[in-house]
Amino acid sequence: MKNSTKQNITSPNMLSWVDNFTLTDEEADMISDPKWVYENLIIQGHLSVFPAPPNGGKTAVFMHIAGEIAEQYQVFYVNADISAADAKSMLSIAKSKGFKLLLPDMKAGLSMDDVITYLEAMNKENADYSNYIFIFDTLKKMTDVINKSNSKKLYKTLRGLSAKGMTIILLAHTNKYADKEGKPIYEGTGDLRADVDELIYLTSKKNTDGSMTISTEPDKVRGIFEAITFEISSDRKVSLSDNFIDIVKTSKQQKQRHKDKQAILVIIEAMKNGKRIQKEITSYCNELGLGINVTRKILERYSNHPQKLWTRERTPKHNTLKYSLNDQTP
């Protein structure tokens, strides 16, 4: 049987399978002009996962969104990652905003396993769930995300429900460590990314005033998404920002700035002592123990940096690089 199948797949006369990988006009239209539940974040009828670090603000953002979309849809927020202390305030928010908050672990004799059982039963029905939106917080409470067989069964059920029109949002966790580029990595097997329509990371930054900034970073999408940013105030109020902030890039720049701190101080000292030409600056810094090549790299880096420390220009007479400190440079 295996040999026959292999022969059918490799036969040059059996190319009907290529149609499975060709977008129809309808599918192309859905990608270019999707029906947004929440613009640049949630498409109706899609199965989406949003990984974020623990305490990264994902619950606050999606509780806010649940309230925003509850006027148009029946919204069910299933939270199995909540403390008893937070349950009462969340129930109050859900009631005032018009969506249903399900707390399976807070009900005697019930758990998230029971919720999944009901979802499996719903998937067996020939029904239209296009007005239903389920938000699950978190995926880790629904299945063992690193167990391929267990998680695959759940993803199959959720995919079946989304095929019947249900919009499903999975809040998930990222691994403790990011990749080499500083980007987050979702917690789970490869099946998660393969089985969802969207995988969109939520990156966050805690601010000194107690507020938090959260930005989206689309990784896999079946639509045209623009990255967006949310602000969470110190009193936990959520708002959509007018401008996108690339938190991963900003964090990387801040780490580099910290790493370069001592070299920057030496270069600033050189300029304050009247050294303006690159050769003069590198010579001055070299006498203080900073290598010439390192000095050149730092000079170039912070001439083009968003936090521009100095201005660089090429002199017409001798074709040399000349630097001047910016007004805001300490």
Q: Tell me which of 252, 284, 314 is where a domain ends.
A: 252
* Within-domain flag for 142: yes
Domain match, 225 and 300 both: no
Domain match, 148 and 207 both: yes
Count CA atoms closer than 13 A to 252's CA, side-chain side.
14
State the Cα–Cα distance between residues 230 and 212, nearest whole angstrom: 8
* Within-domain flag for 2: no
Count CA atoms closer than 13 A to 51's CA, side-chain side.
23
* Within-domain flag for 330: no
State the Cα–Cα distance between residues 144 and 142, nearest whole angstrom: 7
Domain match, 100 and 73 both: yes
Predicted pLDDT at 283? 97
φ/ψ of 33, rounded to 5, equals -140, 70
Considering all CA atoms of the chain, what is the largest pairwise distance in Å, rounded to the nearest integer?
84
Is the Cβ–Cβ distance between 309 and 264 less than 8 Å? yes
* Within-domain flag for 43: yes
* Within-domain flag for 80: yes
State the Cα–Cα distance between residues 254 and 214, nearest whole angstrom: 17
Predicted pLDDT at 76? 98
DSSP annotation of 40 reads T
* Within-domain flag for 13: no
* Within-domain flag for 11: no
CATH number, domain at 237? 3.40.50.300
Structure confidence by residue, pLDDT tens digits, 42-81: 999 999 999 999 999 999 999 999 999 999 999 999 999 8
State the Cα–Cα distance between residues 60 and 90, nearest whole angstrom: 10
CA distances from 59 to 18, 137, 228, 292 (A): 41, 7, 17, 49
Domain match, 70 and 28 both: yes
CA distances from 193 to 56, 145, 223, 276 (A): 21, 12, 15, 53
Q: Tell me which of 196, 228, 252 is where a domain ends.
A: 252
Domain count, the chain: 2
Domain match, 269 and 245 both: no
CA-based nearest residue to 76, from 139, 116, 159, 135: 135
**Which portions of the chain are predicted below pLDDT 70?**
1-13, 30, 32, 305, 328-330
Is the Cβ–Cβ distance between 161 and 123 less than 8 Å? yes
Predicted pLDDT at 90? 95
CATH number, domain at 286? 1.10.10
How is 90-149 classified by DSSP, letter by letter? HHHHHHHHT-EEE-GGGSTT--HHHHHHHHHHHHHS----TTEEEEEE-GGGTS-TT-HH
Domain match, 155 and 271 both: no
Predicted pLDDT at 10? 57
Count CA atoms closer than 13 A to 122's CA, side-chain side.
22
Domain match, 282 and 245 both: no
Predicted pLDDT at 5? 44
Domain match, 202 and 299 both: no
* Within-domain flag for 5: no
Domain match, 158 and 272 both: no
Domain match, 211 and 277 both: no
Domain match, 281 and 312 both: yes
Domain around 236 = 24-252
- 38, 72, 143, 152: CA torsion to nearest 10: -80
Domain match, 236 and 121 both: yes
Q: Tell me which of 226, 252, 278 is where a domain ends.
A: 252
The amino acid that residue 298 corresponds to is I
